[in-house]
Structure formats: C-alpha cells, structure tokens
Amino acid sequence: MRPTLRVAIMLTRLLGVVQIVLGIAIWIGTARSSVPLHAALGSLLVLVIWVIAVIALFALPRRGLPLFTLLWGAAVLWLGMAQTTLVVGAGHWVIRVAHLVIGLAALGLAESLASATRRHWNALHPKT
C-alpha cells in the first residue's frame, strides 16, 4: 500500500495545482472553454482523495478523519457539479469562493491523512 499512497498523494498535489490554476483562469474569464476539463479533473481529484481516505480508513486505528474525508469529497464533487445553478447572478462569487475553500480543505485533508498513515506505518515497522 505504501507505493499506492505515495502515487496517490503526488497525484493529488499535481491535480490540486492544476485545478487551482485552471479554476482561477475560468473565474477571471480567460479559460471559459476549459470548464469541462476542470470538471473532469476535479472528479478525478476527488476519486484520488477517496483512495487516500480508504487506505487511511483501513490503516489507521481511528476512523473518524478518513470517514469525514470521504464525506467531504462527496461535498466537493456535489458543489463542483451544482455550482452553476446555485446563487445565479451577482452573488455567484460566494459560491465560487466556497468551492475554492472547500476544494483547498479537501487537499489539506488528503495531505493530513497521507501523513498520518505514513507515520502510523513507520511506527509499526521502523526502519533499522
């Protein structure tokens, strides 16, 4: 599982940066045609975060944070897909900011889970 976790967290970081840059470009109007790509990569990002959460769910002695991360990923996915229909008009910027903050939090949760899982594995099997 260690290589899987390593690949998943690196993919999360890469997709996270791409999503932030692409999302800001869409937000400021320079990449409006990239919305389908942003949605597809966002879905892939949530899937990878779920993989990290499932690994942590089975690796860590406490299940709360991995379960919360699974639910948080579902919220990110829902908000990303539904945001164009929420608060249409001048107040839509609130939804955009919420989507950004919730997405950044998902990246933080993935980092925390990956780190906790690595620490747990290293405690169980210290390097000699």
Give 73's pLDDT tier (boundaries 50, 70, 90): very high
For position 127, what pLDDT does the model report? 72
Q: How close are the terminal C-alpha atoms of the chain, in Å?
A: 20
What DSSP line would sit under 13-54, residue for residue? HHHHHHHHHHHHHHHHTS-GGGHHHHHHHHHHHHHHHHHHHH
Mean pLDDT, the chain, integer: 92
Q: Which amino acid is at 112?
A: S
pLDDT at 65 over 80: yes
Question: Per the confidence metrics, is the pTM higher than 0.75?
Answer: yes
Which pLDDT band holds residue 91 (cuts at 50, 70, 90)? confident
What is the per-residue pLDDT for 38? 96
> Of 30, 23, 73, which Cα lies nearest the Cα of 51?
73
Does residue 18 contact residue 42 with C-beta atoms inside 8 Å?
Answer: no
Q: Which residue range(s) make up the domain with 52? A: 2-124
2 pLDDT higher than 90: no
Number of domains forming the structure of the chain: 1
Q: What share of the chain is helix, strand, coil (3-state, %, to 5)?
A: 85, 0, 15
State residue 93's pLDDT score. 86
Which residues neighbour 72 within 8 Å (Cβ) at sequence distance 6 or greater? Answer: 102, 105, 106, 109
Say which range, 44-48, 71-75, 103-107, 118-122, has the weakest mean pLDDT.
Answer: 118-122
